[in-house]
Amino acid sequence: MKRMLTLLVFVAAFSHAVPANDMSREIDAAAAKLMPKVIEWRRHIHQNPELGNREFKTAKYAEDHLRRLGIEVRTGVAKTGVVGILKGSQPGPVIGLRADMDALPVTERNDLPYRSRATGEYNGQTVGVMHACGHDTHVAMLMGAAEVLAGMRDKIKGTVVFIFQPAEEGPPAGEEGGAELMVKEGVMDNPKIDAIFGIHINSQTPVGTIKYKPGSIMAASDWFEIKVRGKQTHGAYPWSGIDPIAVATQIYTGLQMIVARQSNLPKAPVVITVGRISGGVRENIIPEDLVMAGTIRTLDSMMQNDVHERIRRTATSIAESMGATVEVKIDRKAPVTYNTPELVEMMLPSLHKAAGRENVVLGEWVTGAEDFSFFHAKTPGFYFTVGGMPAGKDPKDAAPHHTPDFIIDDSRLDVGVKAFANIVFDFKK
């Protein structure tokens, strides 16, 4: 009921048509002039990636840029986050623009002259570090938008808050981080943000294209761990023990039956993935216990709660039937990323100005997740995708995100810069 009342108030406040502004040509010209810098920034960040909560150099890069533009800067937000505050010449709404900064523990595999050769420590292991999800482009686009808007500050009605966020991919084990920590530390409240916007590059969407979707757009991300406890015995005499590995295989199948036979998939997708199974120390010893862990993706909150209950019941029942016991732990990582429909309708003209009406297309929801959802929990939000796949390439041949072969065509990052800048002038409270 509270959410419904909030949406009704939002509709009443923003239902009027958005008048066309006369700033888009000026924005186009400024973005075109800035593009060589935006590409340079992106490639510098790509070549110098940093893991979550360790984005010290990236944060300083963004901070120095904002300071050169005469923008008020706050640092150390949620550990390494940077927030810039640009006040326009007249009163008006407060608009949040967000970019995430962190890279992934992935070793880059290509021959780009600016490819990453960086390494870092992730959960006690030395790993390659790569911007395998395109966050380098997000930072560069937001830096570009900041420069365009700083040059037009005398025409801005209201305030723009530039949010450079750490640890979107998740903080290191045992640490807080990301959007959730930024919200906890008050980034949405001082000044109070009226609406927030975010962009994600996509390696399988044609360059120069924008995709959007009202309502649920990205899944809730939950992590689960199931500890199976059996009875250790000699591998030659399995009947004298309880094999947790055999139990785990049955639980694995049971989890997939939740998706295939128990979930109302026409309503919304459900994914249950086991990404890790560990147990045992020797080939001829059936171990005492085993741990299986993975992720749950849902796009509907009622289905999310239902799936959690089914996982607990399935794991417990299967274990009991085989004489074993289980402990099930489910950790809610990020809520569903949801685009306020009324805000999407209001801001579509901004996207048309940035990419051309013919290049702005309605997309589908995806089972990837985003902690942008924590910002949206505080205010209406709109999160959309900018294409980074080279023109003419088949999406099936484009390497997906989070892989060593992930690659982005950065020739049209101006689309994101222009989208952010037009949003600032088109948004009306």
CA 113 distance to own-chain centroid: 27
Peptide bond into 191 cis (omega under 30): yes
Q: Please report how many Cα atoms fall inside a 13 Å half-sphere around the Cα of residue 68, on the Cβ side.
A: 11
* Structural contact between residues 259 and 369, judged by C-beta atoms closer than 8 angstroms: no
Residue 133: name the closest of 379, 422, 429, 371 by CA: 371
Instruction: Compute the distance between CA of residue 411 and CA of residue 429 in angstroms, rounded to an integer.
Output: 34
The most distant pair of C-alpha atoms in the chain lies apart, rounded to whole Å, by 81
CB atoms within 10 A of CB 339: 23
Q: Are strands 81-87 and 157-165 parallel, antiparallel or unpaired?
A: antiparallel
Residue 9 DSSP code: H
Distances from the Cα of 334 to the Cαs of 146, 178, 394, in angstroms? 28, 10, 31
CB atoms within 10 A of CB 89: 12
Catalytic entry in 168, 222, 289, 300: 168
Residue 176 tokens, joined:
């807080």
* Structural contact between residues 156 and 124, judged by C-beta atoms closer than 8 angstroms: no
* Structural contact between residues 138 and 100, judged by C-beta atoms closer than 8 angstroms: yes
285 - beta bridge partners?
234
147 noted as active-site residue? no
Phi first, then psi: give them for residue 51, nearest 5 degrees.
Answer: -75, 170
288 noted as active-site residue? no
233 - beta bridge partners?
286
What is the amino acid identity at position 140? A
Give the CA angle between residues 383, 388, 389 to the nearest 5°: 130
* Structural contact between residues 369 and 219, judged by C-beta atoms closer than 8 angstroms: yes
Catalytic entry in 28, 50, 102, 414: 102
Which residues are catalytically annotated? 102, 168
